[in-house]
Amino acid sequence: MRVKEVNEKKSIAMFFRSSTDEAIAKEMSRVKELLGLKTNAQEFTVVYGAISGGNTEIALLSRSMLQILIDFGSYVDVPDSDVAEGRVNAGHQANVTDEKSILPLIHIKVESSEPEDAYTAVHYRDHWFYIDDRDMSSKRTFTFLMLLFSLTERGAAQGVPIVTVPAG
Protein backbone atom coordinates (compact mmCIF):
# COMPACT_ATOMS: atom_id res chain seq x y z
CA MET A 1 0.00 0.00 0.00
CA ARG A 2 1.09 3.56 -0.52
CA VAL A 3 -0.29 7.08 -0.41
CA LYS A 4 -0.47 8.93 -3.70
CA GLU A 5 -1.95 12.19 -4.90
CA VAL A 6 -4.90 12.05 -7.29
CA ASN A 7 -6.56 15.30 -8.41
CA GLU A 8 -4.73 17.25 -5.68
CA LYS A 9 -6.13 14.88 -3.04
CA LYS A 10 -4.18 12.22 -1.18
CA SER A 11 -5.53 8.71 -1.53
CA ILE A 12 -4.42 5.23 -0.57
CA ALA A 13 -3.46 2.84 -3.32
CA MET A 14 -3.03 -0.89 -2.92
CA PHE A 15 -0.99 -2.78 -5.42
CA PHE A 16 -0.26 -6.39 -6.24
CA ARG A 17 3.24 -7.10 -7.48
CA SER A 18 3.42 -9.53 -10.34
CA SER A 19 4.93 -12.86 -9.39
CA THR A 20 6.92 -15.38 -11.37
CA ASP A 21 5.77 -18.10 -8.96
CA GLU A 22 2.76 -19.70 -10.63
CA ALA A 23 1.10 -20.72 -7.32
CA ILE A 24 1.34 -17.18 -5.92
CA ALA A 25 0.09 -15.65 -9.20
CA LYS A 26 -2.89 -18.02 -9.12
CA GLU A 27 -3.71 -17.02 -5.52
CA MET A 28 -3.45 -13.28 -6.33
CA SER A 29 -5.77 -13.79 -9.29
CA ARG A 30 -8.24 -15.60 -7.02
CA VAL A 31 -8.16 -12.74 -4.47
CA LYS A 32 -8.87 -10.21 -7.22
CA GLU A 33 -11.71 -12.37 -8.48
CA LEU A 34 -13.25 -12.70 -5.00
CA LEU A 35 -13.06 -8.92 -4.52
CA GLY A 36 -14.60 -8.27 -7.95
CA LEU A 37 -11.46 -6.54 -9.18
CA LYS A 38 -10.03 -6.25 -12.67
CA THR A 39 -7.75 -9.30 -12.85
CA ASN A 40 -5.06 -7.76 -15.06
CA ALA A 41 -4.77 -4.50 -13.05
CA GLN A 42 -1.86 -4.11 -10.62
CA GLU A 43 -2.98 -1.03 -8.62
CA PHE A 44 -6.27 -0.31 -6.89
CA THR A 45 -7.61 2.75 -5.08
CA VAL A 46 -8.76 2.11 -1.49
CA VAL A 47 -11.84 4.11 -0.45
CA TYR A 48 -13.99 4.28 2.65
CA GLY A 49 -17.44 2.80 2.12
CA ALA A 50 -19.51 -0.34 1.65
CA ILE A 51 -19.57 -0.39 -2.16
CA SER A 52 -16.74 0.22 -4.58
CA GLY A 53 -17.10 2.52 -7.55
CA GLY A 54 -15.68 0.05 -10.05
CA ASN A 55 -13.36 -2.86 -10.64
CA THR A 56 -10.19 -0.88 -9.82
CA GLU A 57 -11.42 0.30 -6.41
CA ILE A 58 -11.46 -1.50 -3.05
CA ALA A 59 -14.10 -0.25 -0.62
CA LEU A 60 -13.44 -0.75 3.10
CA LEU A 61 -16.05 -0.04 5.72
CA SER A 62 -14.13 -0.12 8.96
CA ARG A 63 -14.83 0.73 12.56
CA SER A 64 -13.50 3.93 14.04
CA MET A 65 -10.62 3.75 16.52
CA LEU A 66 -13.10 4.65 19.27
CA GLN A 67 -15.33 1.71 18.35
CA ILE A 68 -12.31 -0.61 18.36
CA LEU A 69 -11.21 0.62 21.79
CA ILE A 70 -14.73 0.23 23.20
CA ASP A 71 -14.86 -3.34 21.93
CA PHE A 72 -11.41 -4.15 23.32
CA GLY A 73 -12.41 -2.54 26.62
CA SER A 74 -14.92 -5.32 27.15
CA TYR A 75 -12.01 -7.77 27.45
CA VAL A 76 -10.37 -6.01 30.38
CA ASP A 77 -10.55 -7.85 33.69
CA VAL A 78 -11.98 -5.44 36.25
CA PRO A 79 -11.69 -5.53 40.03
CA ASP A 80 -14.78 -7.00 41.74
CA SER A 81 -14.77 -4.01 44.10
CA ASP A 82 -15.17 -1.59 41.14
CA VAL A 83 -18.13 -3.62 39.81
CA ALA A 84 -19.71 -3.73 43.30
CA GLU A 85 -19.31 0.05 43.69
CA GLY A 86 -20.92 0.67 40.29
CA ARG A 87 -17.75 2.20 38.81
CA VAL A 88 -17.72 -0.19 35.85
CA ASN A 89 -19.65 -3.06 34.31
CA ALA A 90 -18.10 -6.51 34.36
CA GLY A 91 -16.30 -7.42 31.12
CA HIS A 92 -16.81 -10.55 29.05
CA GLN A 93 -14.56 -12.66 31.28
CA ALA A 94 -14.79 -15.35 28.59
CA ASN A 95 -14.76 -18.94 29.76
CA VAL A 96 -13.27 -21.04 27.01
CA THR A 97 -14.44 -24.59 27.60
CA ASP A 98 -14.19 -26.26 24.22
CA GLU A 99 -12.12 -26.16 21.06
CA LYS A 100 -14.86 -24.39 19.08
CA SER A 101 -14.87 -21.32 21.35
CA ILE A 102 -13.35 -18.18 19.87
CA LEU A 103 -10.63 -16.69 22.02
CA PRO A 104 -10.74 -12.91 22.59
CA LEU A 105 -8.29 -10.86 20.53
CA ILE A 106 -6.85 -9.29 23.67
CA HIS A 107 -6.87 -10.04 27.38
CA ILE A 108 -5.98 -7.32 29.86
CA LYS A 109 -5.44 -8.76 33.34
CA VAL A 110 -5.72 -6.93 36.66
CA GLU A 111 -3.84 -7.35 39.95
CA SER A 112 -3.55 -5.28 43.08
CA SER A 113 0.27 -5.50 43.05
CA GLU A 114 2.67 -4.77 40.21
CA PRO A 115 2.91 -7.81 37.90
CA GLU A 116 6.33 -9.41 37.60
CA ASP A 117 6.16 -10.60 34.01
CA ALA A 118 4.15 -8.00 32.07
CA TYR A 119 4.58 -7.08 28.42
CA THR A 120 3.06 -3.70 29.23
CA ALA A 121 1.35 -2.42 32.37
CA VAL A 122 -0.37 0.65 33.76
CA HIS A 123 -1.21 1.54 37.35
CA TYR A 124 -4.72 2.98 37.82
CA ARG A 125 -6.79 3.41 41.02
CA ASP A 126 -4.74 1.03 43.20
CA HIS A 127 -4.66 -1.72 40.56
CA TRP A 128 -2.29 -2.82 37.81
CA PHE A 129 -3.77 -3.54 34.38
CA TYR A 130 -1.41 -5.48 32.15
CA ILE A 131 -0.78 -7.87 29.27
CA ASP A 132 1.05 -11.01 30.32
CA ASP A 133 4.37 -11.35 28.50
CA ARG A 134 3.50 -15.00 27.65
CA ASP A 135 0.20 -14.03 25.95
CA MET A 136 1.34 -13.87 22.32
CA SER A 137 -2.15 -13.21 20.93
CA SER A 138 -2.71 -10.17 23.17
CA LYS A 139 0.80 -8.88 22.48
CA ARG A 140 0.21 -9.10 18.71
CA THR A 141 -3.18 -7.39 19.01
CA PHE A 142 -1.77 -4.60 21.19
CA THR A 143 1.10 -4.02 18.75
CA PHE A 144 -1.34 -3.94 15.82
CA LEU A 145 -3.53 -1.46 17.74
CA MET A 146 -0.50 0.79 18.24
CA LEU A 147 0.19 0.55 14.49
CA LEU A 148 -3.40 1.59 13.75
CA PHE A 149 -3.00 4.59 16.05
CA SER A 150 0.14 5.66 14.22
CA LEU A 151 -1.65 5.34 10.85
CA THR A 152 -4.52 7.54 12.01
CA GLU A 153 -2.33 10.38 13.28
CA ARG A 154 -2.99 13.44 11.18
CA GLY A 155 -1.24 16.14 13.19
CA ALA A 156 1.14 18.55 11.54
CA ALA A 157 4.74 17.45 11.40
CA GLN A 158 6.64 18.81 14.35
CA GLY A 159 9.87 20.64 13.75
CA VAL A 160 12.96 19.83 15.75
CA PRO A 161 13.46 22.02 18.81
CA ILE A 162 15.78 24.99 18.46
CA VAL A 163 18.63 24.98 20.93
CA THR A 164 20.42 28.23 21.66
CA VAL A 165 23.99 27.93 22.78
CA PRO A 166 25.53 31.10 24.23
CA ALA A 167 28.81 31.90 22.50
CA GLY A 168 31.30 34.16 24.15
- Partners of 11 in the β-ladder: 4
pLDDT of 111 = 95
pLDDT of 107 = 92
Same-domain check for residues 137 and 84: yes
166 within some domain: no
pLDDT of 159 = 54
The tens digit of pLDDT for each residue in 41-85 reads: 888 888 888 888 899 888 888 888 888 888 888 889 999 899 899
165 within some domain: no
Same-domain check for residues 80 and 55: no
Q: Which residues contact 137 (CB under 8 A, 6 or more apart)?
A: 103, 105, 106, 107
Q: Which residues of the chain have pLDDT under 70?
A: 92-102, 151-168
Number of domains in the chain: 2
Q: Regarding beta strands 118-124 and 2-6, do their DSSP bridges make them parallel or antiparallel, or are they unpaired? A: unpaired
Same-domain check for residues 50 and 69: no
Tell me how far apart the alpha carbons of residues 8 and 81 are, in angstroms, rounded to a whole number.
55
The residue from 15, 37, 60 where one domain ends is: 60
19 within some domain: yes
Same-domain check for residues 135 and 74: yes
pLDDT of 13 = 82
Same-domain check for residues 40 and 96: no
pLDDT of 101 = 64
Same-domain check for residues 102 and 73: yes
Q: 100: domain range?
A: 65-152
Same-domain check for residues 87 and 143: yes
163 within some domain: no
pTM of this structure: 0.59
The residue from 34, 60, 86 where one domain ends is: 60
